[in-house]
Structure 1
Amino acid sequence: MPRPENPIKEAVRDMRTAFATLQDGPEHPGRLLVKRGLSPDAACRDFALAHAAVPARPRSASEPAVLYRQPEGPDLLLGLYGCERRLRGWLPGLEAGGWPSAVAKLQPIAPRPAPLDQEKWKRVALSRLPFPKITPRDAGPYVTMGFVIAGQGGADLALSAHRMLVLDDTRLGISMLASRALRALGQAAWAEGRDLPISINIGVSPAVAVASATATAHLPQRFDKLTLAGALAGQAVAVAPGLAGAACLPDSEFVLHGRLSAQTCDETIGDRPAGVTMPEFLGYDGHAGAVLQVVEVTAITQRPGAVLQATLGPGREQSAILGLGGALAQALALPPDTPLRDLRYAPAGGGMLLLYAALAPGATARCDLGALTRHLMAVMPFTKTVIYVDEDVDLTCDEDVLWALTTRCTLARAVGMIEDLAPLRMDPSQTEAWVEATGHAPARCWIDATVPPGLENAAQRSF
């Protein structure tokens, strides 16, 4: 299927190298901007109004990287990974083409032991870092691009991104879904009466960011997330012993070393109302449900001249990371005889809910799309809608998928519904309030927007 060639195919070992590719040369219109005079909170508002794209704002575009200079302390970086094509181009281990063929030759590359040659802060003071409030309604400042590592590697390794509320200079409140490997490791440690050593890595490489968004339970046995990141990067990821007992990534801009404790806290600060969190990946305000676990930060280390990477929550950046990670997880979990030729999680679904899938010619005549859809939803459980199209449809072009949806099916007849999966509560249309207002129970679906067998000549493009 049509797909632009990856623009960058070079060694990108860390976030700093990726950022440097945008700085090379005299001008990079729309890709790199530098702004001054804006606090971290004001920077988020500026980025949302001027640069953020769907689903954060009704803007169909990639996001630029914007470096917000701060008068004191580290600068704040938003949007670096806010372009699917740019982000995938920083994964030199991936071949060009559709996802199934691109991952066919991926082989694990074990992490490279390295020293933690970062500067250690004299004291822990989270307030010295420019963590922003994403909106004035937030419970407080949040760590939004913190990648948590627990364990040392292999089967006991957890690598995942979480939103973390800054409670004070030494404590964070971390949000974890019940299904996360990190929570399982934490519960095992608490059952033994101890805290779980972790590291929180901020400013990680593109390969680590994408690998973290895959589904651990469905990775092939030969991979864990760090060996997968090495495969994507085409080189080993540097891993060092952390100061709290967990492995860490010394090529990160900052590392927060600490312990995941059994203590809990509400997602609120001071006299603010409970229940309000930063915006979620679909573009709506989040709603705090379960209490947060408390992280005790015992040490902070950084690279010289480190910048703090953050993201809005919704928008192209979060969608690109989640979408590429989801497509990678799906491709790795496909059987060898798969009829799928390519996949893409669309930004309109926050990189998780809406999946485009290109099928081989004639696949619908020999493939049970309902069963295939259930398989895809089992691998990435946040998948809500799958749109099947032909190979000549460019999945990177949302208008092209909409064209196929409009001209290659009768939508009212082409939808298959799945009603026995759990609703996705982050999606407003799957909440109890929506059920009461509409009278329709939550469901998921797939759409067959492919040309029926034998009618290919009637549906050829003119150009």
Structure 2
Amino acid sequence: MSNQPYDLRKVIEELKELPGQYHETDVEIDPEADLSGVYRYIGAGGTVKRPTQEGPAMTFNNVKGFPGTRVNIGTMASRRRVGEILHHDYKTLGRYLKDAVENPVMPEKVTKAEAPAQEVIHLATDEGFDIRKIIPAPKNTPEDAGPYITLGVVLGSDPEKTMSDVTIHRMVLEDENTIGMYIMPGGRHIGHFHKQYEALNKPMPITINIGLDPAIAIGTTFEPPTTPLGYNELWAVGALRNEPVQIVDGVAVDEVGIARAEFIIEAELMPHQTMQEDINTNTGKAMPEFPGYTGDANPAVNVVKVKAVTHRKNPIMQTTIGPSEEHVSMAGIPTEASILSLVDKAIPGNVLNVYNPPAGGGKLMSIMQIKKNAPSDEGIQRQAAILALSAFKELKTVILVDEDVDIFDMNDVMWTLNTRFQGTKDIMVLPGMRNHPLDPSELPEYDPANIRFRGMSSKTILDGTYPYDMKEHFVRAQFKEVPDWEKYLK
């Protein structure tokens, strides 16, 4: 196993060697809300309604209605575990990903015989073909619009095949060969390519890749300006693993899939076609999203027509709970890397580290650790915050702290806001800006003066750094350094 390229199975084998990081069960589980309902208690974390906690990744080996198929959940639902998976210190993963983007390793095409993802092939023309009977996509809650693919990496290209990209979207299984895909306006390169196909009035070939090395899921969530149009995030994943991601030609569409995936759905994104997301339930609800609330069903999601499903023998469906800490790992760490890339260029040496914590679902909040080197650096911390907010429209709150604060300890961060912060002078509010439309406070009736339509927000900077010329007033208690302190625990 150790000599094989990285994939989900190799990662699971490595996690089995780490105490408390992985658990699997043969007890039957129903994917209809029970699976997420169980894991919510065991290890979801994030913005999931309490009680929840950080716990092991899990694989359910006995999934009701899907003999021979397993479901994996929570593999990335712990930043420390992500550090173990990527073989890197969890506190500096942002810089690790930043360096990976800057040193790309191109994917490598392999033959169908070398692609485990094509061991079993189901064509949409086969009698009785029904994606809902092949893919054990769970429902997160009983009111979900249907079974959702929550960790499917969509791979597509422009019509001339000069550019390609990978993104993650929420995708609901609507019928035997139709998927409803929500493409958020303005932010995804797959959406850009789709517009080009629509101009030609042609369907866009795509693959939806499920059951992957977590490095792929994390790398996929990079956004502009860090990975501009034309940059395929699989290049950064190759750098993270120091080996190329293997890709393979599809069996039914003119697009490549990820060769070591557990499942590949080959499909076409239809031009000028939309459908009601909750057409099968009419609940008005989609699925739980990263801010911790269930998203409203979209009246017009894009229509995806499935042409084939290929998979490994005894495949593993990989899924996530929308508001869980897996979203924090996938969305937050690349955003940290992107912020560091930007501020390192503009104000080098002043931003030591960045953390996007679970409280913001990985997108809405950043904690920035600042180092002031001289009195003339006063104010540089606020410039850093404005740089982050200007580049990443989904960022809503920035907390600035000094270098002696542990940004991964929210109690330490809150301590800073109680002892190095005055509301009359250390709050900056930037009204009427764009943000993520899934924040339920972004309603015109909530703040009529500043929110003209959903998706606008006021941005807030909380400056918890002390004034450099008053630093002697903010020295923390100096305890004796005892290098061999751990011997007292033996």
The two structures have a TM-score, normalised by structure 1, of: 0.89
- Could you tell me which residue of structure 2 aligns to residue 249 of structure 1? 258
2:73 maps to 1:81 = no
Give the one of 310, 318, 322 matched to 1:313.
322
Aligned partner (choices 150, 169, 174) of residue 181 of structure 2: 174
2-structure distance, mates of 1:202, 1:449? 42
Aligned counterpart, 1:327? 336
Q: Secondary structure at the match of 2:266?
A: strand
Provide closer, same or farther for how the CA distance between residues 98 and 65 of structure 1 changes in structure 2, counting only shifts above 3 A. closer
Q: Distance in 2 between matches of 1:207 and 1:342?
A: 21
Distance change in 2, residues 1:43/1:239 (3 Å): same
Q: What runs of 5+ residues in structure 2 fail to find an aligned partner? A: 125-129, 480-490
Match of 2:145 among 139, 150, 156: 139
Pair 1:127 & 2:132 matched:
yes
Q: 1:460 to 1:10 in 2, by over 3 A?
A: farther
Show the counterpart of 1:150.
156
Q: Which of the residues 5, 19, 24 maps onto 2:17?
A: 24
| C-alpha contact (below 8 Å) 1:173/1:267 kept by paired residues | yes
Letter in 2 for 1:200: I
Aligned to 1:375: 387
Q: Is the Cα contact below 8 Å between 1:123 and 1:299 reproduced in 2? A: yes
- 1:445 lines up with 2:438 in the alignment: no
Aligned partner of 2:206 in structure 1 is 198
What SS is found at the alignment partner of 2:218? Answer: helix
CA distance in 1, matches of 2:247, 2:284: 37
Instruction: Give the direction of change, closer, same or farther, for the CA distance of 1:438–1:211 in structure 2 (3 Å limit).
Output: closer
User: 2:45 maps to which residue?
Assistant: 53
Amino acid paired to 1:458: H
3-state SS of 1:326 partner: helix
Change in Cα spacing, 1:233 to 1:257, as seen in structure 2 (3 Å) is same
Q: Compare 115-124 and 353-362 and name the one that shifted more.
A: 115-124
Q: How does 1:36-435 map to 2 (within 5 A)?
A: 36-41=27-32, 42-58=34-50, 61-69=53-61, 70=63, 72-92=67-87, 97=92, 99-100=94-95, 103-104=98-99, 106-116=102-112, 117=115, 118-124=118-124, 125-128=130-133, 129-151=135-157, 156-179=163-186, 180-219=188-227, 224-243=232-251, 244-262=253-271, 263-270=273-280, 272-273=281-282, 275-336=284-345, 337-338=347-348, 339-362=350-373, 365-366=376-377, 367-435=379-447
The answer on whether the counterparts of 1:218 and 1:329 sit within 8 Å (CA) in structure 2 is yes
Contact 2:177–2:306, Cα closer than 8 Å, also in 1: yes
Secondary structure of the corresponding residue to residue 150 of structure 2? strand
Counterpart residue type for residue 344 of structure 1 = Y
Structure 1 position 455, deviation (Å): 2.9
Q: Give distance in 2, aligned partners of 1:16 and 1:377.
A: 38
Shift in Å at residue 208 of structure 1?
A: 1.2
More divergent stretch after superposition (38-47 vs 82-91):
82-91
Query: How many matched pairs?
Result: 452
Aligned residue for 1:89, secondary structure, equals helix
Superposed CA RMSD in Å reads 2.9
Q: Matched residues in 2 for 1:211 and 1:75: separation?
A: 24
Any gaps of 5 or more consecutive residues in structure 1? 1-8
| Contact in 2 for aligned 1:342/1:357 (Cα 8 Å) | yes
Deviation at 1:73, TM superposition (A): 3.5
Larger Rg: 2
Classify 1:240/1:217 alpha carbon distance in 2 versus 1 (closer, same or farther; 3 Å): farther
Pairwise CA distance, 1:59: 5.1
Q: Which amino acid aligns with 1:414?
A: D
1:94–1:103 contact (8 Å) kept in structure 2: no
Q: Is the 8 A contact 1:154 1:224 kept in 2?
A: no
Partner secondary structure for residue 209 of structure 1: helix
Indicate the residue corresponding to 2:488 in structure 1: none
From the superposition, tell whether residues 223 and 261 of structure 1 become closer, same or farther in structure 2 (CA, over 3 Å). Answer: closer
Cα distance in 1 between the residues matched to 2:267 and 2:374: 51
> 1 CA distance for matches of 2:307 and 2:355?
40
Contact preservation (8 Å) 2:181, 2:302: yes
Verify the 8 A CA contact 1:141 1:166 in the aligned structure 2: yes
Is the alpha carbon distance of 1:315 and 1:221 closer, same or farther for their aligned partners in structure 2, counting shifts above 3 Å?
Answer: closer
What letter corresponds to residue 111 of structure 1 in structure 2? P
Q: CA 1:435 to 1:259, structure 2 compared with 1: closer, same or farther past 3 Å?
A: same
Contact persistence 2:189–2:229 (CA under 8 A): no
Q: Does the CA-based 8 Å contact 1:318-1:351 persist in structure 2? A: yes
User: In 1, distance between residues paired with 2:407 and 2:56?
Assistant: 22
Q: Deviation of residue 49 (structure 1)?
A: 3.6
CA contact (8 A) 2:79 2:90 kept: no
